[in-house]
Amino acid sequence: MSNKNKLQRFAEIAELPNVFENFDFHDPHITNFQGDRMEVKGHWNALVFNAERPIVLELACGKGEYTTHLAQAHPENNYIGIDIKGARIWKGATMAQQEGLTNVAFLRTRIEL
């Protein structure tokens, strides 16, 4: 992927309503596409999905294709794909938007223990 495409995708994910970001492991807040800080710990279903369903995490989701396909196949669950690479998340997030999936979100953050 060229740097131009990568920068374009970074700009686009900042506008996707199903992509959230957090870059501080010690601060549990996430930022949505409007730049609003949200405290979602324990409230993902209410604040992000607007539906009370089990949540399935995919760590290091890459392009998010598997996360998106799971959301299509199992609408009884909510899915969160997590990866640090925004240009990768772009693919799954845009696919989910095009398909009208409301049970999938992506979080751009580091995975730390």
pLDDT at 70: 98
Residue type, 81: G
Q: What stretch of H or E contains 81?
A: strand 78-83
CATH of region 3-108: 3.40.50.150
pLDDT at 113: 60
Residue 111 pLDDT exceeds 80: yes
Q: How does residue 1 score in pLDDT terms, banded at 50, 70 and 90?
A: low
- For the chain, the domains span 3-108
64-101 residues labelled b (16+ CB within 10 A) or e (exposed):
beebbebbeeeeebbbbbbbeebbbbbbbbbbbeeeeb
**Tens digits of residue pLDDT in 57-104:** 999 999 999 999 999 999 999 999 999 998 899 999 999 999 999 999
**Tens digits of residue pLDDT in 16-56:** 999 999 988 888 889 988 889 999 989 999 999 999 999 99
Residue type, 29: H
Q: Give the SS3 label for residue 97.
A: helix
pLDDT at 92: 96
pTM of the model: 0.90
